[in-house]
Amino acid sequence: MQQAGWLLPASLTGYLWLKGHQPGLPGWGCPFRAITGVPCPGCFLTRATISALHGDLTTSVSLHAFGPVMAAGLIAWSAMAIQRRRLWPFPWRLRPGLALATAVGGYWLLRLVLSQVFGLAAPWGFPGSG
């Protein structure tokens, strides 16, 4: 039996695109936010990615600046996984991963301070804050 794990990225991307048309499809909330009441670095990233997959970059960026980046990454990952028939078709590099994690963490801290301390809403804070 041949493994088809390489189809996972395209399935995930397709599901997110479909969820943009059918918001009632199952999903889950942020457990960190549910427990602490504080948004995590990825809060609103799913909705931002869905908006970017539908071409609504203004909404995407207002929800999370990394939404368009995530959408582009998912599309690239899907295409390369299908082409190479491998779930993870990229060579693993530590520095780009750390740079991305640092950027997302810094963005999260900025949003957290601006929304929780100064009461600012999107695009600088979290949607619905302020």
pLDDT tens for each residue of 53-94: 999 999 999 999 999 999 999 999 999 999 999 998 888 888
Token digits for 72?
Answer: 């582009």
pTM for the model: 0.87
State the average pLDDT for the chain: 89
Q: Are 126 and 110 in contact (CB under 8 A)?
A: no
Model confidence at 12: pLDDT above 90: yes
Q: Per the structure block, which two tokens stand in for 108?
A: 């999260």
| Contact in structure between 26 and 51 (CB atoms under 8 Å) | no
Q: What's the CA gap between 13 and 5, in Å, rounded?
A: 14
* Statement: residue 106 has pLDDT above 50: yes
